[in-house]
Chains A and B, each alone.
Chain A
Amino acid sequence: MNAYRWSELHTGLAHSFSVQLTPAMMQDFLHLSGDTNPLHLDATFAKAAGFPDVVAYGMLTSALYSRMVGVYLPGRFCLLHGIQVDFSNPAYVGDWLTVKGEIAHLNDAFRRIEIKASIEKGEQVISKAKIRVGLNER
């Protein structure tokens, strides 16, 4: 886990990591969220809706933004203030997703970090996010 201090942060500082979506993640998120929508559970339903297979929960993939800020950027002293996510494409079980984050702005007065982040599958963007975090270093 990273543990960036304010003095070590700068605009453009970036981190990334990759994760493969597994059936176990889908099961865990189903139990966690209680979202029983068939688009995420029933392949027949998903195909009838025009998708090749059940669609991974958007909020499951977005949970990876939590890892980005809590573990990588800024890591240990992160305090999540807010996040805005826009979904561009569906993700599926078995996909390898790359999560990218880069500091877009540092507000010195309130020690607020603004991070532009994305989740990508190869060349395809799954989602983009603007993440606002504080640095709770003591």
Chain B
Amino acid sequence: MSDILAELQPIFRDVLDDPALQITRQSSAATVANWDSLAHINLVSAIEQEFHIRFSLSELAELKNVGDMIDLMEQKLAAK
């Protein structure tokens, strides 16, 4: 789990243009600066490409924070 969080750090820093950003499982669009709707699309697309997984809109709608995203990613990566 922590490995995925570590791998997500550079993606979030790059997409949100904040080299000092430290995301946690509790991070969300409400707590992280510049995480707007367009940035959200960029994040999802970047994660899909980096991890070679795909998300559906319904799956994404259920996510409340980075921790939820990591849990979903673990499910998808385990199923590969």
Q: Which residues of A does B touch, CB under 8 Å?
A: 81-82, 104-105, 107-110, 112, 114, 132
Contact = CB atoms under 8 A, between A and B. Distances in A.
Nearest to B56: A109
Contacts of B42: 82, 132
Nearest to B48: A107
A105 B45 contact: yes
Contacts of B55: 109
Interface residues of B, number: 13
A112 B42 CA distance: 9
A81 B38 contact: yes
A81 B41 contact: yes
B48 A110 contact: no
A108 B56 CA distance: 7
A112 B56 contact: no
B56 A132 contact: no
Nearest to A134: B41
Interface string B53-65: 0111101100000
Interface in B11-65: 38, 41-42, 44-45, 48-49, 54-57, 59-60
A84 B64 CA distance: 29
